[in-house]
Structure 1
């Protein structure tokens, strides 16, 4: 398994995160092939140098490294498995990297299937939101083999800064579940703090200056509370995708017979938010429940 200094990259999924990740790869000088269900979404990247592919099969057959950033586990299955998927059409010895937050068991399945095809798979979910993707400073959590990880590390470093191999296949996804569990309860606290400040007649922006650098500090407090205060609900990370992540985390936790009340409460609140029509809003839209 060898990679050239500038391997041909394939990237499937040009959403809020994927678009910025591809843009950083192009800026770093990588030849980057792209595919998404709707070509119109890829037009900006095509003008910047990305090469559009008509099918997943076309992209996989031309790429040394195939990367995916799609929505749900069912989407991961769709792009990887089947006669027109990545596993049946990738070049021998290609490396496959799935950045989607997905099921640990599915990551293990893809890894085993890849090996049977002389391919190498990494599960590599990310954290850092739209800002981290744009600035190339995502946290990337890796599951897979050390040798494979080292081969693609220079590519990963274009998109992220905190890049850690967590263990064998599936370990990246399990680590992302830890991340989402920590965020879930924290988001409730951030919303309550902002609304408390508003109802107490304080300036929430000034309050934020005092509390974000102390013991209460968190990524969500520093990056999402300002959006809550100014009522900017556009997605850096969709409500519907957070619900998907929490569902996976709950299923995994229950398989381990683990008590997880904070996650259960957060998932219920976000499902209530989605029922109010906010599934395509950013996760900071949770604050609207507390303002009512």
Structure 2
């Protein structure tokens, strides 16, 4: 087995299913679907699941199961992480013994799909470079449907040549856009979440208002979705909200985390974050859901807070 994937030009050799070995860390709703698409495309995966039962379906599909993030990385050229919180990313990647970076071969590439702190992404990129590896922060948008269908929007921060090199894998998962240097992918995702939160708040309030006015919610949605009020959020979640389907593609507790980073860590390195009052309001409403015991609900469940405010 080759100890490095570096070619003569100083960059990794071309990606292909018969020569590229992948480590995957994180098998939640999004991670399992994304890893499953790479498996189906013929890639060899070594999967680490913190809860082993969550890796069972991937193992049945042909993935190997790793005992730690380092174990998943040891025989891999590329390692993906898709975990919950920045603290999980730090542990999975930077732990000196069990972290993926401790075992990734020279010339390997780390890809973090978790929505995390831009500052942590820059720290990981520096640590990877010190080991002769690369790191790309590449959070995604599109929810569970986008993950299953391979239609995720991927915000990639890091060296442009490596981002372009990863195109064969990005094309299986969705569409990647190079956003700039390390941390820029995370900043892009935070801005995305501010947009999503505002869109879901508008959708929730509109549906509560429409019902109070005696309108049929489904007919209202059909009437406005092709006009200026239409949005991707409406297409992805509109029918689910009407039907009361709040199964998670992304957890409410994660939206609290994401919007919190926008409020606390949304500025360029060394500068103050932007003032975003709408995001602050959305975060308060999502925090109310967590307080109501709905932190594991999908983000489209925001309407439940608006209904409670209206006495429903």
TM class, shorter-chain normalised?
A: over 0.9
Per the alignment, in what secondary structure is the counterpart of residue 84 of structure 1? coil
Aligned position for 1:284: 300
For residues 147-226 of structure 1, the aligned pairs below 5 Å read 147-160=161-174, 162-226=175-239
Aligned position for 1:49: 62
Gaps of 5+ in 2: 1-5, 7-11
Report deviation, 1:257. Answer: 4.7
Aligned position for 1:5: 16
- Contact kept? 1:34, 1:52, Cα under 8 Å: yes
Aligned position for 1:16: 29
| More helix, by proportion | 1
For residues 231-242 of structure 1, the aligned pairs below 5 Å read 231-242=244-255
Per the alignment, in what secondary structure is the counterpart of residue 166 of structure 2? helix
- Contact kept? 2:70, 2:101, Cα under 8 Å: no
Aligned position for 1:120: 134
What is the distance in 1 between the residues matched to 2:199 and 2:150? 24
What is the distance in 1 between the residues matched to 2:93 and 2:141? 22
What is the distance in 1 between the residues matched to 2:94 and 2:153? 27
Report deviation, 1:156. Answer: 1.2
TM-score (norm 1): 0.97
Aligned position for 2:285: 269
Q: Does 1:107 align with 2:118?
A: no
Q: Write out per-residue CA displacement over residues 110-159 of structure 1, whole angstroms, 9 at most, x where no aligned residue.
A: 00000000010000000000000000010000000011112211111110
| Pairwise CA RMSD | 1.2
Query: How many residue pairs align between the two structures?
Result: 291
- Contact kept? 2:138, 2:156, Cα under 8 Å: yes
Per the alignment, in what secondary structure is the counterpart of residue 224 of structure 1? helix
Aligned position for 2:110: 96
Report deviation, 1:202. Answer: 1.2
- When residues 54 and 257 of structure 1 are mapped into structure 2, their CA distance, relative to the original with a 3 A threshold, is closer
- Contact kept? 2:248, 2:298, Cα under 8 Å: yes
Report deviation, 1:253. Answer: 3.5
- When residues 258 and 90 of structure 1 are mapped into structure 2, their CA distance, relative to the original with a 3 A threshold, is same
Gaps of 5+ in 1: none
Aligned position for 1:136: 150
- Contact kept? 1:194, 1:225, Cα under 8 Å: no
